[in-house]
């Protein structure tokens, strides 16, 4: 085994959450009088902390961004959470990894309360040793902090850990913690985005994870 502990991002890595996330953002923007009919334009919201995205993409003030997150959650709690799909082959890959002795974690900027519900909904929650996500007040949402939290609380040896994700924030979080990373091209980060952050490995298909970690 090249690694013993595998940290998975959730959105864009384990599941394809595009419809639920973009419709939740669309709903929130509409509350501010901003109409966006093209859900493709809202894809940059998939992955990073929501507050940061509202501020960076729509130039919201911090107070506006926090209100935007609350509006987002109104839709997400009721519908958006389940407008989501488990990537094909993900269940098989998770089962093989767990059966072969790897310890699997989820490291997501999504609030843990939502992450737990989504993993349970898709019946993959039992593959993971621990799910770490942000708090509803916005704390513990930075990927570097989340990875640090897992490493320290489980006393993991860094050389035995790899972060798997589809956005630059996953690669940056891994780099800041001194662990290796796998950039998932099949998700919502561009190849340029992942490669610019010097991901240790780069994969095009979910099954490619297996060829790297053993």
Report the CATH number at residue 200.
Answer: 3.40.50.1000
Find the catalytic residue in 9, 142, 170, 180: 9
Based on the domain organization, do 77 and 105 belong to the same domain? no
Based on the domain organization, do 73 and 112 belong to the same domain? no
127 pLDDT band, cuts 50/70/90, is very high
Give burial (CB, 10 Å; 0-12/13-18/19+) of 43: middle
Based on the domain organization, do 61 and 102 belong to the same domain? no
User: What pLDDT, on the 0 to 100 scale, is given for residue 44?
Assistant: 95
190 pLDDT band, cuts 50/70/90, is confident
Percent pLDDT > 70 in the chain is 100
- Please state, rounded to an integer, the average pLDDT across all residues of the chain: 97
Reply yes or no on whether the pLDDT at 54 is more than 90. yes
CA dist., res. 61 & res. 139, Å (int):
18
Calculate ∠ Cα 61-134-180, nearest 5°.
110
**3-class DSSP assignment, residue 74:** helix
Based on the domain organization, do 55 and 151 belong to the same domain? no
Residue where one domain finishes, among candidates 82, 110, 138: 82
CB under 8 Å to 139, separation ≥6 — which residues? none
For the chain, the domain total comes to: 2
Reply yes or no on whether the pLDDT at 159 is more than 90. yes
Reply yes or no on whether the pLDDT at 82 is more than 90. yes
Task: Give catalytic status of residue 9 as yes or no.
Answer: yes
Instruction: Kindly list the distances between the CA atom of residue 119 and the CA atoms of 20, 30, 68, in Å, as whole numbers in the listed order.
Output: 15, 29, 25
Instruction: State pTM to two decimals.
Output: 0.94
Instruction: Kindly list the distances between the CA atom of residue 171 and the CA atoms of 175, 187, 191, in Å, as whole numbers in the listed order.
Output: 6, 13, 12
Based on the domain organization, do 118 and 177 belong to the same domain? yes
- Give me the CATH number covering residue 27: 1.10.150.240
Based on the domain organization, do 48 and 70 belong to the same domain? yes
Mean of the pLDDT values across residues 9-26? 98
Closest CA to 213 of 132, 138, 136, 103: 103
Mean of the pLDDT values across residues 183-210? 94
Residue numbers of the domain that contains 92: 5-16+85-213
Mean of the pLDDT values across residues 8-29? 98
116 pLDDT band, cuts 50/70/90, is very high
Reply yes or no on whether the pLDDT at 141 is more than 90. yes
Based on the domain organization, do 131 and 78 belong to the same domain? no
Residue where one domain finishes, among candidates 61, 82, 103: 82
Task: Please list the residues that pair with 106 across neighbouring strands.
Answer: 8, 131
Based on the domain organization, do 92 and 150 belong to the same domain? yes
Mean of the pLDDT values across residues 165-184? 97
Based on the domain organization, do 182 and 139 belong to the same domain? yes
Based on the domain organization, do 101 and 179 belong to the same domain? yes
CA dist., res. 27 & res. 71, Å (int):
7
191 pLDDT band, cuts 50/70/90, is confident
Closest CA to 133 of 124, 146, 150, 117: 146
Based on the domain organization, do 204 and 122 belong to the same domain? yes
Based on the domain organization, do 9 and 112 belong to the same domain? yes
Residue where one domain finishes, among candidates 29, 63, 82: 82
214 pLDDT band, cuts 50/70/90, is very high
1 pLDDT band, cuts 50/70/90, is confident
């Amino acid at each position: 085994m090249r690694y013993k502990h595998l940290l998975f991002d959730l959105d864009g890595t384990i599941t394809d959450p595009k419809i639920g996330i973009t419709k939740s953002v669309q709903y929130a923007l509409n509350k501010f009088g901003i109409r966006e009919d093209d859900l493709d334009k809202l894809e940059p919201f998939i992955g990073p902390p929501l507050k940061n995205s509202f501020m960076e993409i729509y130039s919201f003030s911090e107070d506006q961004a926090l209100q935007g997150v609350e509006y987002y959650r109104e839709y997400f709690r009721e519908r958006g959470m389940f407008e989501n799909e488990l990537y094909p082959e993900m269940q098989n890959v998770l089962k093989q990894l767990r059966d072969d002795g790897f310890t699997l974690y989820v490291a997501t900027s999504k609030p843990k309360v939502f992450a737990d519900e989504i993993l349970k909904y898709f019946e993959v929650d039992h593959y993971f040793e621990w799910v770490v996500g942000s708090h509803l007040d916005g704390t513990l949402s930075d990927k570097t902090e989340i990875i640090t939290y897992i490493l320290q609380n489980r006393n993991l040896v860094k050389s035995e850990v790899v972060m798997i994700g589809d956005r630059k924030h996953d690669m940056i979080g891994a780099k800041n913690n001194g662990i290796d990373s796998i950039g998932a091209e099949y998700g919502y980060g561009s190849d340029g985005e992942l490669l610019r952050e010097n991901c240790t490995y780069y994969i095009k298909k979910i099954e490619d994870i297996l060829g790297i970690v053993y």
